[in-house]
Amino acid sequence: MFNSGPQFVFNMGGGPGIRVHQFGGGRPRRRPADPNAPEQQQSLQQTLIGLLPLLFIFILPLLSSLFSGDSTPAGPSMRFDTAVPPHTMQRTTQNFKIPYFVNPVDVEDFSASKLKNLDKQAENSYIHDLRIRCEAEQQTRIRLQEEAQGWFFPDMEKMARANKMEMRACDRINELQRMQRR
């Protein structure tokens, strides 16, 4: 029963339902094709049906983004530092009194409510930018503090510089939060 080589699996009542795995070595050989079975050729239609899930994954999002109705621009561009042409018209946000500059041509047909929404958008954009810069400042401070730790003993001079590092964006956020509480 067991002395006939690897075929003993089939001698024990196994058969086509039992899988035999080959570990290591070359590629396993395929079973010879049944000469009575008809040849299976994939037609173009079968190939497309096989590729249909991929088409849905890649093509559908592309088409939906092309034909979506949300193709309007987010609004006029703005600057927060200084007036640089074409951003020469200065406006100020209502809550935090943040000055910003827009292109006058972009807002010439804006109504009072649209200008109020523009002020809110400018304020949100400014605060979002501050938060991103504050996170970068915090990461830089943490990196400097970790570098000051050293392998054997901390470098107190580097640690003092890291702790005294100027954090303008975080300070500005704290200032805006104090203004909001008033």
Helical (H) or strand (E) element with 76: none
How does pLDDT run across 2-43, given as a tens digit for each residue? 555 555 555 554 455 556 555 666 665 666 666 665 555 557
CA 98, CA 124: separation in Å to the nearest integer? 11
Indicate if the pLDDT at residue 56 is higher than 60: yes
- Token digits for 170? 């975080």
pTM equals 0.57
Q: pLDDT confidence of 92, banded at 50, 70, 90?
A: very high
How does pLDDT run across 145-164, given as a tens digit for each residue? 999 998 888 899 999 999 99
In the chain, what are the domain boundaries?
78-181
Strand order in the sheet with 78-79: 78-79, 99-102, 89-92
CA 154, CA 147: separation in Å to the nearest integer? 9
